[in-house]
């Protein structure tokens, strides 16, 4: 673990992303008529995401499923050829017309796209599967479908990092709370002071990490907080903190690289993380 600490403190992100990289994705996704699962807007968003991942050099698998009388799909892309996987996911669907869904969840979707681009250029020491889920807003339907129909045995999915609403990063709370956090997280929290406030676990069904947790896959929920624009027409691209998105991206990249060099599963990593429940 001392080697890991030195590694994290000395290594800088492999390919620095810029705010404009994220802004472009968020603004584009916000044009797709709210991205309600099963609609033309959602499918057009899926085509944009599939094309972007392909442009970044990844092979994309489309996983279609039916629910409630409509058909929609998850998008899956893998970097690496190892026997087990780290999962990085986000939902790309939204609330429907008049809801741009910039923070919820074009922000997390943009994060997955840019992480996929970085790891394609410089892979982690473990395989990473990037998944963009549909129908999260209808009850985690896409992620539930995936865990029942994974690309390989679900037991080979060692850890899941879920990006959902990461576009409103603010200063860390610095409230004096102490926790017995796993040694893996300590150097990351030292490097990214905001990370403790946004690295959560949930015991309820707030987001797609719950589908994995129910299957015994350890997971964290990366989330910068609920705000008064949540699930309203005011969740627009101009309200997103793009400098903050870059910082969250860099933290998650380091987190994934750290997870790729330690023995998993390791329940101590998330044992004492704060739990979270949406309070709109």
Catalytic residues: 136
Residue in 94, 117, 120 with CA at minimum distance from that of residue 107:
94
State in Å, rounded, how far the first CA of the chain is from the last one. Answer: 39
* Calpha distance 200→202 (Å, rounded): 7
β-sheet bridge partners, residue 70 = 67
How many CA within 13 A on the CB side of residue 55?
Answer: 8
Assess contact for 247 and 111: CB atoms under 8 A: no
C-alpha triplet 194, 188, 21: angle, nearest 5° = 65
Residue in 148, 273, 140, 280 with CA at minimum distance from that of residue 206:
140
* Calpha distance 246→59 (Å, rounded): 25
* Calpha distance 109→140 (Å, rounded): 15
Q: Determine phi and psi for 180, rounding to 5 degrees.
A: -90, 75
Q: How far is CA 199 from CA 3, 65, 138, 148, in A?
A: 23, 30, 24, 26
- Say how many residues make up the chain: 280
| Residue 133 three-state SS | strand
* Structure token digits, residue 32: 């797709």
């Amino acid at each position: 673990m001392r080697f890991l600490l030195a590694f994290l403190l000395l290594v800088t992100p492999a390919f620095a992303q810029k705010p404009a990289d994220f802004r472009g994705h968020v603004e584009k996704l916000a044009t797709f008529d709210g991205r309600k699962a099963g609609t033309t807007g959602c499918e057009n968003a899926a085509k944009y995401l599939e094309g972007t991942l392909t442009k970044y050099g990844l092979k994309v698998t489309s996983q279609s499923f039916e629910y409630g009388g409509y058909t929609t799909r998850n998008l899956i892309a893998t970097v690496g050829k190892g026997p087990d996987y780290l999962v990085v996911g986000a939902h790309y669907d939204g609330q429907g017309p008049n809801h741009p869904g910039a923070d919820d969840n074009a922000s997390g979707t943009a994060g997955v796209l840019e992480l996929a681009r970085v790891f394609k250029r410089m892979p982690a020491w473990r395989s990473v599967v990037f998944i963009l889920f549909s129908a999260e807003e209808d009850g985690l339907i896409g992620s539930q479908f995936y865990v029942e129909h994974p690309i390989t045995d679900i037991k080979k999915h060692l850890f899941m990092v879920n990006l959902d609403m990461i576009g409103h990063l603010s200063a860390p709370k610095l409230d004096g709370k102490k926790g017995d956090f796993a040694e893996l997280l300590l150097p990351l929290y030292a490097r990214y002071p905001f990370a403790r406030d946004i690295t959560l676990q949930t015991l309820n069904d707030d987001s797609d990490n719950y589908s994995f947790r129910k299957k015994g896959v350890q997971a964290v929920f990366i989330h910068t907080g609920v705000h008064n624009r949540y699930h309203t027409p005011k969740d627009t691209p101009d309200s997103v903190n793009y400098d903050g998105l870059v910082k969250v991206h860099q933290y998650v990249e380091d987190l994934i690289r750290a997870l790729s060099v330690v023995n998993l599963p390791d329940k101590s990593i998330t044992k004492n993380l704060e739990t979270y429940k949406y309070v709109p």
